[in-house]
Amino acid sequence: MNSTRLTRWLVYLLIGAAVVAVLWSYSSAPTPQNDIPISRLAQEIQANEVAELRVSGDGREVTVIYLDSQRPSSLAAISDVSSIEELLATYGVTSASYADSRPVVVYEQPSQWGGLLNLVGIFLPALLIIGFFYFIFRQAQGTNNQAISFGKSRARMFTGDHPTIGFEDVAGCDEAKAELQEIVEFLKEPEKFVTFGARIPKGVLLVGSPGTGKTLLAKAVSGEAGVPFFSIAGSEFVEMFVGVGASRVRDLFEQAKRNSPCIIFIDEIDAVGRQRGAGLGGSHDEREQTLNQILVEMDGFDTDTHVIILAATNRPDILDPALLRPGRFDRRVIIDRPDMRGREAIFRVHLRGKPIANAVDVSILAKATPGFVGADIENTVNEAALLAARRNRKSIGMSEFQEAIERVQLGPERKSRLMSPEEKELTAYHEAGHALVSHYLPHAQTLRKITIIPRGMAGGVTWYMDEDASFLTRSKFEAMIATALGGRVAEEIVFGEITTGASNDLQQVTRLARAMVTQYGMSQGLGLRVYGEKQELVFLGREISEQRDYSDAIAEQIDGEVRLIIDSAHNQAMTILTDHRDKLELISQRLLEVETLEAAEFVDLLEGKDVAVPSNPPPPPGSPRINLPKPSEGAERPRPTLDRPPSPSPA
């Protein structure tokens, strides 16, 4: 760094010297004059026109001052002689030719800086050229160094002297912390295990969905153990040059051995740990060479090095089997989505140090956020804090948390979007249809809120309370399908016309019904079997096709079973909304007035408790309706509740 600064100042100094030399040359030059040859000067002296000759300090120039003050001075150059007198003598001008001792010859004293600046003016271009080439060579040398450093590890090292994160900062994964506590004890007291001849796992693989806290848990292990922590992403091993990844792996493990006991954390290890032989580059893919080096280094660890490898991934299914065998990643730690108690603990961690109102109940927040992971909860708390600051509140209240949860799950409200009265009425009946069908089905999800205010990409939302359920029954699936069709059925009953508003609902219905038939064995006609095997490229890490392991006749039967399930749910929704047509009108008109209904208000309306009379009383069944507009893109409303069931994508 010091040499770089010195070089920079040297360049600045040379540039400054050049500027000074140029300015000196202009300032020291005489005032603008006419250049005359020595022969003419001799003639003017013989004609008694010259009053004074001023010879410059370097003896190279003569300034001619005339007797006529109105006449501008002239400049003559001297060369190859020692004095002006000798030069003039060659042109026949001697001392006898001077009249009245004129002209007077004056020799100016040479400047102390003039010679130096002249030298600078002479040598400065050469110095600048030399400096330019020196700079080019340094850049080339730096490039070579960078090329050499390609093989160096880019892992970031964190010392354990001042830990900032511990196990108390990680919540919602008690089982995972208990598994890793053994690693911490080994790093603190390795002799305790060596005495019994025990071998600590060389590698621990953290597996979990995105946002569950895998990286945070790895940092907590380092903070608890108080040892150096090397962190690197799997993608940082691979470059465009062949062999760079393997070289970086070797350098990383060499650094770890020098700083043992320590922890190596490789985030997103699936970037380099995917199954070999499946890449687009063939069996000699650069990723495979990097993976081979990782395998070699993990096997090459001595039992006394006390270096533990932590790796995180959300795709353990695509990892190479050699990476998961005993002796490498011996242990898998599953970090699942937190349950209600886990979410409550995570909320308490993120609420530390924030001004929270006394009315805030953390248990209610945990119940209202099923399916949330740690990242979602952190985002929710941050959104609530932003809302409180925007509203100039002194503390974060329950209303801010409620709105923050809605913003995270559904997206922000788009109240600025203008909806025509026809589109607004259509949306009200559509969302009311969803809510009524779910209300009268025993196995349907619990209603949370209904709104016709556009949120996110949705034109209206019927929001349900998700459940922390690991399994879904056939009755649950059928209720979800019927609920999804409730909006379209309401449009059919009220308007006698169908629109594109249910396009997303139909996609969800088809997906669920097909999953019931092909994946979960919930079809009476096809029996207990899975139809269709997913095909994927490990290199891509995603499904690209489905292998049909069934005949065309079975495919036709699958389509029939899917159609049967959907038609049955459609008839069920039609029966409910036809029998409760008055409730459909009531809820729709209420939505047109207030735009949003909470679950409690929805139930009170159905039970007739404290129900305000709508300003526009509902028309009787069978009365003519308004003309529907042409379907618009904004009418397509994705229903977030159907996106959340933990069912895999069907065939």
Concatenate the DSSP letters of all residues of 389-407 into one string. HHTT-SSB-HHHHHHHHHH
The answer to whether the CB of 550 falls within 8 A of the CB of 527 is no
Residue 60's CB is within 10 A of a number of other CB atoms, namely 10
Report how far residue 12's alpha carbon sits from residue 8's, in angstroms, rounded to the nearest whole number: 6
The answer to whether the CB of 403 falls within 8 A of the CB of 387 is yes
Task: Report residue 88: phi and psi, to 5°.
Answer: -65, -35
626 φ/ψ sector (left φ>0, alpha ψ -120 to 50, else beta): beta
Which residue in the list 431, 478, 492, 585 is annotated as catalytic? Answer: 431
Report how far residue 481's alpha carbon sits from residue 495's, in angstroms, rounded to the nearest whole number: 22
Report how far residue 268's alpha carbon sits from residue 470's, in angstroms, rounded to the nearest whole number: 26
Give burial (CB, 10 Å; 0-12/13-18/19+) of 301: buried
Q: Which residues contact 569 (CB under 8 A, 6 or more apart)?
A: 478, 481, 482, 485, 509
Residue 431 annotated to the active site:
yes
Give burial (CB, 10 Å; 0-12/13-18/19+) of 485: buried
Concatenate the DSSP letters of all residues of 231-266 into one string. EEEGGGG--SSTTHHHHHHHHHHHHHHHT-SEEEEE
Map residue 54 onto helix, strand or coil. Answer: strand
Rounded-to-5 percentages of helix, strand, coil across the chain: 50, 15, 35
Report how far residue 233's alpha carbon sits from residue 221's, in angstroms, rounded to the nearest whole number: 18
Tokens matching residue 431: 């969302």
Rg (C-alpha) for the chain, rounded Å, is 43
Give burial (CB, 10 Å; 0-12/13-18/19+) of 302: exposed
**What letters, b where the CB count within 10 A reaches 16 and e where it falls short, cover 365-391?**
bbebbbebbbebbbbbbebbbebbeee
Rounded (10°) angle between helices 503-518 and 474-495: 150
Report how far residue 309's alpha carbon sits from residue 215's, in angstroms, rounded to the nearest whole number: 13
Question: Could you list the active site residues?
Answer: 431
